[in-house]
Amino acid sequence: MSQKIIIIGTGPAALTTSSILSARPNKYEVEIFEKENRPGGLAASIDIFNQTVDLGPHRFFTHDKEVSDFWLEASKRKTAKVKRLTRIFYKNKFFSYPLKPFEALCKLGIGPSIAVIFSYLKQKIKPEKNITTFEGWVSRRFGKKLFRIFFKTYSEKLWGLSCKELDADFASQRIKKLSLASAVFSAFSLKKTKHKTLVDEFDYPKGGAGSVYDGLAKQMQENGVEIHFNKAVKGVRIKDNKVIGCILEDGTFKEADSIISTMPIDQLLIHSEGIDDNIKTLAKKLKFRNTVLVYTKILSNNLFPDQWLYIHNTNTDTGRISNFRNWVPELYNNEEGSVLCLEYWCNTEDELWTAPNSVFEDIAKNDLQKTGLNKNIEPNEYKIVRLKDSYPIYFYGYKDVLAPIVEYIKTIEGLHLIGRGGSYKYNNQDHSIKMGLLLADNIINGAEHDLWAVNTDFDSYQEGENANS
């Protein structure tokens, strides 16, 4: 008899495992519930202004062959190479990433540059003691001055916390091993090899990042797998330390032998039945940050050449601006103009989260004027997209909250939590696909991969990635 497996979500993690399990219909009966009306999760693509765009910039990158093969296969190899250009915009000047020493020196000015070098050298002589916070970790590696210029503003906008209240995990997962010295060395080096965080070229699906997941979902549906869109799951039901099914938002109970969940871990645990009360209390302490994407179309094809820019100006609210004219021509087709996406972040309890769209349109319009990136051409259309729970927050001390939850979940038979929200890990697509692949191997072959170790600071499961995605 086949095993009944319910999967919550249709993002990269869920679709990876479900596509592998559903290819064995005699062994596994897969049923999927998704709260949105489309697959792809945070990595979906949408059509606006007659063009295709992603939910913020989505560059796929991995050193893991298995992940890369899976993704390329799922994209049906309809990809194109994109030459990466993503710079930092600070004081209305563009700074290359990785930093080019002479360029940075000229653009920062002699005074600030000397201060950068001295504060870097100071860390060599008297290193920062507390490197468990984001501020301490980055300052020790780059010096305080560089931290303030190139890390503090962006990170505090993104997380809504002081960098002293952020765990160093955020830094160590994303800028691991990269130091000022390695950036400078890379700029001077004649050797073509680059640090793994500094790749110059990446593969991008011609139909947008989400086309990969649209394809996976479609293929499964054609093979008879039921995907229920617009059907949110409330939680799971646990009896005698075993999951016995899930409860939908409308109250319906669905029986299952196993549940694979990629919905935010706190919501799942808080609303499940049969979960230890202490675990529910801990789950309430986990926090997610929301993203508001403001898309606008500007009638010019040549605003700036980057795929995205990190905005380090302190006088703007946006933290990143993407330009979908600069990915692949298939996205904009024959349309004139550039679709920009300005990113804003807030918490659910912030007034801004529920502010009318017109508020975001005004903020974005002002930000564009302040940066001058719109070349004084007025935007003529807007579209606002809200992404709830898009970033698990690595607040200082979060690991102490998460550790007992993880231990508890490991004791529940048949309950598997994977993915960015599901495992409370700041995953990129590749990390979520990796989790999906390893989980399929655990279920099918009885392998014992520790999924909670993916995208932590272990080399075996860590893929270099510097982008703050």
Ligand X SMILES: Cc1cc2nc3c(=O)[nH]c(=O)nc-3n(C[C@H](O)[C@H](O)[C@H](O)COP(=O)(O)OP(=O)(O)OC[C@H]3O[C@@H](n4cnc5c(N)ncnc54)[C@H](O)[C@@H]3O)c2cc1C
User: Nearer Cβ to ligand X, position 136 or 235?
Assistant: 235
By the 8 A CB rule, do 335 and 177 touch? no
Across-strand partners of 228?
33
Pairing of strands 3-8, 258-261: parallel
Least spacing, CB of residue 392 vs ligand X, in Å: 10
User: Nearer Cβ to ligand X, position 89 or 120?
Assistant: 89
Least spacing, CB of residue 324 vs ligand X, in Å: 13
* Site residues for ligand X per CB under 6 A: 8-14, 33-36, 41-43, 55-60, 232-233, 262-263, 291, 343, 387, 390, 419-421, 427-430, 432, 467, 469
CA–CA dist 20, 30 (Å, integer):
10
Least spacing, CB of residue 209 vs ligand X, in Å: 8
Least spacing, CB of residue 448 vs ligand X, in Å: 21
Least spacing, CB of residue 80 vs ligand X, in Å: 16
| Rg over CA atoms, the chain | 22
By the 8 A CB rule, do 245 and 255 touch? yes
Q: Which of 80, 1, 28, 108 is nearest to 439 (CA)?
A: 28
User: Nearer Cβ to ligand X, position 116 or 265?
Assistant: 265
Structure tokens given for 143: 């010096």
CA distances from 131 to 13, 115, 136, 144, 395 (A): 31, 21, 4, 13, 14
H or E segment and range at residue 73: helix 65-74
User: Which amino acid, 3?
Assistant: Q
Q: Which of 50, 31, 36, 39 is nearest to 13 (CA)?
A: 39
Least spacing, CB of residue 271 vs ligand X, in Å: 9
Q: Which of 323, 379, 299 is nearest to 89 (CA)?
A: 323
Least spacing, CB of residue 391 vs ligand X, in Å: 7
Structure tokens given for 391: 């970033």
By the 8 A CB rule, do 433 and 72 touch? no
CA distances from 327 to 76, 305, 323 (A): 18, 10, 8
CA distances from 305 to 83, 87, 92, 226, 325 (A): 11, 10, 15, 42, 8
User: Nearer Cβ to ligand X, position 271 or 370?
Assistant: 271
Least spacing, CB of residue 210 vs ligand X, in Å: 9
Least spacing, CB of residue 355 vs ligand X, in Å: 19
| Contacts (Cβ under 8 Å, ≥6 apart) of 355 | none
Question: Is residue 236 helix, strand or coil?
Answer: strand
Least spacing, CB of residue 215 vs ligand X, in Å: 15
